[in-house]
Amino acid sequence: MKPIFFEPGTTLGLVFPASPIPRPKLKKGLDILESFGFNFFRSDVSLKESGYLAGSDEERLNDLLAAFGEPRVKAVLAGRGGYGSLRILSKIDWTKMPNNKPLMGYSDITALHLSRLAQTGQGGWHSPVVSSYTYFETKHREEMVKVLMGQGPQIWTFGKKEVLKEGQVRGPLIGGNLTMIDSLLATDFLPSFKGAVMMIEDIDEQNYRLDRQLTVLWLSGRLKDIGGLVFGEFVNCGLKDNIKKLLQSFASDCLPNVPVVKGAPFGHGKFNGPWWYGEEVELVAEAGGAELRFLDR
């Protein structure tokens, strides 16, 4: 499934399906994106706050529907993750949304991406939300926007220390935030993972919680048919050496027959390389290093 790229002047629909964002941070994020030539369609929900939610469930749902229904909007961008997308999943009929309008976001927005993929097979951009652009360095902002404009790298490379399991596979990208994936396991909002290259990241989870979430995912049986696994960043999840041992153990014990690498440049860190749900890739992991080749760019 080929990604949908954008040109300067594209109008993005700004939505808040989860948590709110302080006005100064919202303004800064929008100013940054406008400097790259993007325009915005936005509703009053962008300035609302109901505790940890950006407005009521009905308001956030209508905000999403309005953005997808606006003719000027070419893609729908989440202002922030946080929490809240799960609360409106059952009320969204993705089959009535225009397929040529991708959703953009990550973290809590993982729930929306996976739900849409399950219902329609339509992909979208696992990419920064508006709030995250405020803390990226200028060069990193430029690199990420280039990907969205079709000028990004064709290959991600990994050193030999990042290879947890050797192998080679070709398949579509899927995954996102581990906490959100686990939250959807007992629902009908997860698509099939068969043959896919799983992309997984998370933030603010202690080692034992990260261990538990990976174990629950494995026990669910959802990983038995995956083609490969790519770990992104695990920010504030404990000591790096402990995370490495945990991921290595998981790869060896639970995924003996698929290639696994870690250290991919996406997640909640200072760089969040965009990738497209359903994008065809080839993962080649060898003792001396690995490559993730994007075949649809």
- Per-residue pLDDT tens over the stretch 146-186: 999 999 999 999 999 999 999 999 999 999 999 999 999 99
Domain assignment of residue 266, yes or no: yes
Q: Are residues 238 and 133 in the same domain?
A: no
Query: Is the pLDDT at 46 greater than 80, yes or no?
Result: no
Domain assignment of residue 3, yes or no: no
Q: Are residues 87 and 185 in the same domain?
A: no
The C-alpha R_g of the chain, in whole angstroms, comes to 18
Q: Which CATH number fits the domain that encloses residue 164?
A: 3.50.30.60
Pick the catalytic residue from 127, 162, 268, 279: 268
Domain assignment of residue 289, yes or no: yes
Domain assignment of residue 2, yes or no: no
Q: Are residues 139 and 161 in the same domain?
A: no
CA dist 33 and 129 (Å) reads 11
CA dist 130 and 72 (Å) reads 19
Q: Are residues 53 and 160 in the same domain?
A: no
Please say if 90 is a catalytic residue: no
Mean pLDDT of 103-110: 98
Please say if 140 is a catalytic residue: no
Q: Are residues 123 and 220 in the same domain?
A: no
Give CA separation, 121 vs 12, 89, 158, 233, in Å: 22, 16, 29, 26
pLDDT category of residue 48 using cuts at 50, 70 and 90 = confident
Q: Are residues 159 and 290 in the same domain?
A: yes
Query: Is the pLDDT at 79 greater than 90, yes or no?
Result: yes
Q: Are residues 164 and 143 in the same domain?
A: no
Do 69 and 41 form a contact (C-beta atoms < 8 A)? Answer: no
Q: Are residues 144 and 197 in the same domain?
A: no
Q: Are residues 22 and 132 in the same domain?
A: yes
Pick the catalytic residue from 59, 201, 205, 279: 201
Please say if 85 is a catalytic residue: no
Domain assignment of residue 178, yes or no: yes
Domain stop point among 87, 116, 148: 148
Can you give the residue range of the structural domain that contains 34?
A: 11-148
Q: Which CATH number fits the domain that encloses residue 61?
A: 3.40.50.10740
Domain assignment of residue 4, yes or no: no
Q: How many CA atoms lie within 13 A of 140 on its CB side?
A: 16
pTM: 0.97
pLDDT category of residue 251 using cuts at 50, 70 and 90 = very high
Query: What's the confidence (pLDDT) of residue 209?
Result: 95
Q: Are residues 173 and 144 in the same domain?
A: no
**Total structural domains within the chain:** 2
Do 190 and 196 form a contact (C-beta atoms < 8 A)? Answer: no
Query: What's the confidence (pLDDT) of residue 6?
Result: 94
pLDDT tens for 203-235 read: 999 999 999 999 999 999 999 999 999 999 999
Give CA separation, 282 vs 66, 122, 179, 248, 251, in Å: 37, 20, 25, 21, 19
Pick the catalytic residue from 107, 115, 131, 132: 107
Domain stop point among 125, 148, 171: 148
Domain stop point among 99, 123, 148: 148
Q: Are residues 58 and 187 in the same domain?
A: no
Q: Are residues 70 and 171 in the same domain?
A: no
Domain assignment of residue 239, yes or no: yes
CA dist 215 and 219 (Å) reads 6
Query: What's the confidence (pLDDT) of residue 45?
Result: 73
Domain assignment of residue 197, yes or no: yes
